[in-house]
Structure 1
Amino acid sequence: MHDMPSLEELQEEQRSLELPEFHYDFVWQLGSRLYQRARENHFPVAIEIRHGSDLVFAMLAPGATIDNFDWTRRKSAVVHRFHRSSLFAKLEAQSKNYDFNTRFRLPPGDFAAGGGGVPLILKGGVFIGSVGISGLPDIQDHKLVTGCLAELLAA
């Protein structure tokens, strides 16, 4: 669970998680599943789901603080800007040896390239929103989102 994925693996994962449709019942199911998983594992995370830039689900699991929402907001901003996961943005910057915020002239107070921001994309490639998680190490934040998304899509 802690193995860092490659950029290619993240791209394939993103393709595999494209949604057949998007509606607020799906948002509730995903947000509730993320919260349930956080509770079961004692993960102190903030969870946010956005439709476009509008916040449509937000929850703090026990142990998380309001500061975690600052991280979900900043990770989601990266997702909205690049239509890729915030973990992809971080790993791409590391692989090409540049500072993410400096390279794209993005203020660190508004954009954070770190695991936990995942795009919601409809089949065919239309970006529809994002999921943001904060409170665990990068890869765990990312895997919490992608694991719950994969489960919902398989159901």
Structure 2
Amino acid sequence: MTETDSPRIAELRQHEEELVFARFDHHDAWRLGSLIASRAIAGGHGVAIDIRRHNMVLFRCVLPGPTADQEEWIRRKSASVLRFERSTALLAEEFAAKGFDPTQGGWLAPEDFTLAGGSFPIRVRGTGVVAAVTASGLSSDDDHQLVVDGIRTYLAAAAD
């Protein structure tokens, strides 16, 4: 952590260092997405869940509650993760700490990217980022936490 990092930025960076996959394929996408969906159902959360490799959707689930807007949020959140290879929650915190909004001034088109939390990189050890997993329908922080908790649970079970 640098002197300018907030505790939240340090926590979000820790998530990304900790939550790394040994491998990730279409079957893993199905299992991870299903696990996150089950957690959302158990928590009574109306969310949409998406796992994609760029434009290829590997998993999609829309539970009761989300609106058609969630499709756009998912597309823009996952585009941000796949471009920067960091979670949207971390990107939002880092840019806010710098007092800079990359969707203003022509750098990132706001119709294509967003920094709202809830999308997280699927990083494979020795390979890098291969996909993004996204939740949309709750607050940015809650979307992020749903995804992080799902990945953490999935990786713990895979380690057994």
With normalisation by structure 1, the TM-score equals: 0.92
Once residues 103 and 146 of structure 1 are traced to their aligned partners in structure 2, the CA distance between those partners, rounded to angstroms, is 31
Identity of aligned residues (%): 36
In structure 2, the residue matched to 1:114 is: 116
Amino acid corresponding to residue 132 of structure 1 in structure 2: T
Once residues 104 and 133 of structure 1 are traced to their aligned partners in structure 2, the CA distance between those partners, rounded to angstroms, is 27
Larger radius of gyration: 2
The list of structure 1 runs, each at least 4 consecutive aligned residues, that deviate by more than 4 angstroms after superposition, is none
Give 2:26's match in structure 1, choosing from 16, 24, 27.
Answer: 24
Gaps of 5+ in 1: none
Amino acid corresponding to residue 36 of structure 2 in structure 1: L
Amino acid corresponding to residue 31 of structure 1 in structure 2: G
Is the CA contact (8 Å cut-off) linking 1:86 and 1:116 kept in structure 2?
yes
Instruction: Report SS of the residue matched to 1:59.
Output: strand
What's the C-alpha RMSD, in Å, of the aligned pairs? 1.6
Gaps of 5+ in 2: 1-5
Deviation at 1:5, TM superposition (A): 5.8
In structure 2, the residue matched to 1:78 is: 80
Is the CA contact (8 Å cut-off) linking 2:54 and 2:79 kept in structure 1?
no
Post-superposition Cα deviations, 1:3-43, rounded to whole Å, max 9, x if no partner, equal x9621221121111110001111111111111111111121
Amino acid corresponding to residue 101 of structure 2 in structure 1: D
Residues 152 and 104 of structure 1, relative CA distance in 2, 3 Å threshold: farther
In structure 2, the residue matched to 1:93 is: 95
